[in-house]
């Protein structure tokens, strides 16, 4: 990711749904003014969901998701349809595309029901108006069935596309300022020290995404960000002249940082901040407490939102399994999921351990939490888990009193 790009997890996700050959891919190309998707008259050209990050005025930074047809048939077609429906877990705005020939049938009604269940903004688009325009009565009927605005466009000629862009902007919910990484904890001119280890796992030439985003949020709060490594932390604190409001660290160096930070200074981690920002901190704290109930033979899922290159001492595949086995004193079985691959049925697991989710949008992270909740399986993220295993979770939750109360229950 370029330092000038908006992170994918922070972009509005706009997904395009519809049957095969209604012109979904051509519509995406018309909306973006680019050849983003392959266009063909052959049904089923798009065989997997395809995501593309871009700028789309007047929306700004978005991820456009092209999906396979909702009417794909056969065993392979059913798998494609399921993958299309899985896209809803990370969708912020849905466009349902049809045409005058296909109309509004069972496929469309099922998709509308799924969209409504997730309470997503929706618009219906009748494409191919250059070939056949739907009757006004049909448009009114579809609008009533879908309970959504209906637009008539021609992706081939561009007719109606600009109006659709403006309508998309009106569908987008207003930004909710309550979701901040750290800014709501700060006052203007507060000092925040960010501890960022530079080791073999760190990307060359840049900070990792949660660190970048946290620094940005500190600056947006008119506070002061001071960045240091764990080995220079003592000297950094001594040079400040006044105690910082907060120290935020990479979870993997919690032990050293906790020893160096005065007990009256707030301490937390990037991962704990993201537990609140993308997920549900209280639920993840409850998940940490479930570690004490693990038994021999329990299966644990370790899930990450990205597919980064694994190091020899990788946090998800090596360190966390080692730390959990040592803490629990049990024989535990670990399974791993990365990227958008996430099990639909979690009931076979005793615990889910998830990364901070910086590469996932909030809606996807919330869906993953909901899946664990529905299965009755506790879930915790890396930072909350590591703080618990090292016995410093109460201290790391001091900035979040509601979550800290759970430890006293």
CATH number at residue 96: 3.40.50.300
**Mean residue pLDDT across the chain:** 90
Q: According to the model, what pLDDT value does residue 3 have?
A: 45
Q: How confident is the model at residue 308 (pLDDT cuts 50, 70, 90)?
A: low
- Which structure tokens are listed for 188? 């203007």
Alpha carbon distance 116, 145 (integer Å): 12
Q: How confident is the model at residue 1 (pLDDT cuts 50, 70, 90)?
A: very low
Residues 60 and 127 both lie in one domain: yes
Question: pLDDT by residue (tens digit) across 34-70?
Answer: 776 555 555 555 567 888 888 888 888 999 999 988 8
Q: Is 38 within a domain?
A: yes
Residues 317 and 223 both lie in one domain: no
Q: Is 290 within a domain?
A: yes
Domain boundary among the residues 151, 171, 191 is at: 171
User: Is the per-residue pLDDT at 102 higher than 70?
Assistant: yes
Residues 300 and 388 both lie in one domain: yes
Residues 289 and 346 both lie in one domain: yes
User: Is the per-residue pLDDT at 176 higher than 60?
Assistant: no
- Helix-, strand-, coil-residue percentages of the chain, each rounded to 5: 40, 20, 40
Nearest CA to 221 out of 192, 250, 194 is that of 192
Number of structural domains in the chain: 3
Residues 287 and 205 both lie in one domain: no
Containing structural domain, residue 93: 8-171
Q: Which residue has the higher pLDDT, 51 or 206?
A: 51
Residues 166 and 25 both lie in one domain: yes
CATH of residue 338's domain is 3.40.50.11410
Q: Is 76 within a domain?
A: yes
Residues 152 and 196 both lie in one domain: no
Residues 404 and 284 both lie in one domain: yes
Q: According to the model, what pLDDT value does residue 112 have?
A: 95
Q: Is 3 within a domain?
A: no
Alpha carbon distance 181, 229 (integer Å): 21
Residue 395 vs residues 107, 186, 231: alpha-carbon distances, Å = 52, 18, 21
Residues 86 and 151 both lie in one domain: yes
Say which residue the tokens 């935020």 belong to: 248
* Highest mean pLDDT of the ranges 100-109, 207-216, 259-268: 259-268
CATH of residue 222's domain is 3.40.50.11420
Q: Is 178 within a domain?
A: no
Q: According to the model, what pLDDT value does residue 391 have?
A: 95
Q: Is 177 within a domain?
A: no
Residues 268 and 285 both lie in one domain: no
Q: Is 386 within a domain?
A: yes
Residues 165 and 194 both lie in one domain: no
Residue 304 vs residues 89, 92, 169: alpha-carbon distances, Å = 16, 21, 31
pTM: 0.85
Residues 117 and 190 both lie in one domain: no
Domain boundary among the residues 139, 171, 203 is at: 171
Q: Is 99 within a domain?
A: yes
Domain boundary among the residues 255, 272, 289 is at: 272
Question: pLDDT by residue (tens digit) across 245-303?
Answer: 999 999 999 999 999 999 999 999 999 999 999 989 999 999 999 999 999 999 999 99
Q: According to the model, what pLDDT value does residue 42 have?
A: 52
Alpha carbon distance 156, 152 (integer Å): 12
- Close Cβ partners of 25 (under 8 Å, ≥ 6 residues apart): 36, 37, 38, 39, 45, 46, 66
In the sheet that holds 60-66, the strands lie side by side as 50-56, 60-66, 12-18, 93-99, 122-127, 150-152
Q: How confident is the model at residue 307 (pLDDT cuts 50, 70, 90)?
A: confident
Mean pLDDT over 123-144 rounds to 93
153: helix, strand or coil: coil
């Amino acid at each position: 990711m370029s330092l000038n790009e908006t992170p994918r997890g922070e972009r509005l996700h706009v997904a395009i749904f519809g049957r095969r050959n209604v012109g979904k891919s051509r519509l995406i190309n018309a909306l973006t003014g680019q050849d983003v998707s392959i266009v063909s008259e052959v049904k089923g050209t798009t065989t997997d969901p395809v995501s593309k990050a871009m700028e789309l005025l007047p929306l700004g930074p978005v991820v456009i998701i092209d999906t396979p047809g909702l009417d794909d048939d056969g065993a392979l077609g059913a798998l494609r349809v399921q993958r299309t429906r899985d896209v809803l877990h990370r969708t912020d705005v849905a466009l349902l595309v049809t045409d005058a020939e296909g109309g509004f049938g069972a496929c469309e009604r099922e998709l509308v029901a799924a969209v409504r269940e997730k309470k997503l903004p929706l618009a219906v688009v009748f494409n191919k108006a250059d070939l056949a325009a739907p009757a006004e009565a049909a448009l009114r009927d579809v609008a009533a069935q879908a309970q959504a605005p209906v637009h008539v466009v021609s992706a081939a000629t561009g007719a109606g596309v600009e109006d659709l862009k403006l309508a998309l902007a009106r569908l987008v919910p207003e930004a909710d300022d309550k979701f901040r990484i750290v800014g709501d904890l700060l006052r203007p001119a507060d000092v925040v020290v960010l501890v960022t280890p530079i080791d073999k796992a760190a990307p060359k030439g840049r900070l990792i995404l949660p660190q970048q985003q946290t620094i940005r949020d500190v600056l947006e709060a008119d506070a002061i960000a001071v960045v240091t490594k764990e080995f220079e932390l003592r000297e950094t604190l001594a040079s400040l002249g006044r105690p910082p409001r907060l120290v935020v660290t990479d979870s993997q160096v919690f032990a050293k940082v906790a020893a160096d930070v005065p007990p009256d200074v707030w301490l937390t981690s990037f991962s704990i901040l993201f537990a609140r920002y993308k997920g549900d901190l209280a639920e993840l704290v409850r998940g940490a407490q479930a570690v004490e109930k693990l038994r021999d033979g329990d299966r644990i899922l370790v899930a990450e939102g990205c597919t980064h290159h694994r190091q020899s001492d990788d946090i998800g595949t090596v360190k966390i399994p080692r730390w959990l086995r040592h803490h629990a004193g049990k024989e535990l079985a670990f399974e791993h999921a990365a990227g958008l691959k996430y099990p639909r049925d979690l009931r076979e697991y005793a615990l889910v351990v998830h990364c901070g989710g910086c590469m996932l949008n909030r809606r996807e992270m919330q869906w993953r939490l909901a899946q664990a909740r529905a299965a009755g399986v506790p879930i915790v993220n890396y930072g909350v888990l590591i703080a618990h295993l090292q016995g410093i979770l109460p201290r790391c939750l001091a900035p979040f009193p509601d979550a800290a109360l759970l430890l006293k229950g």
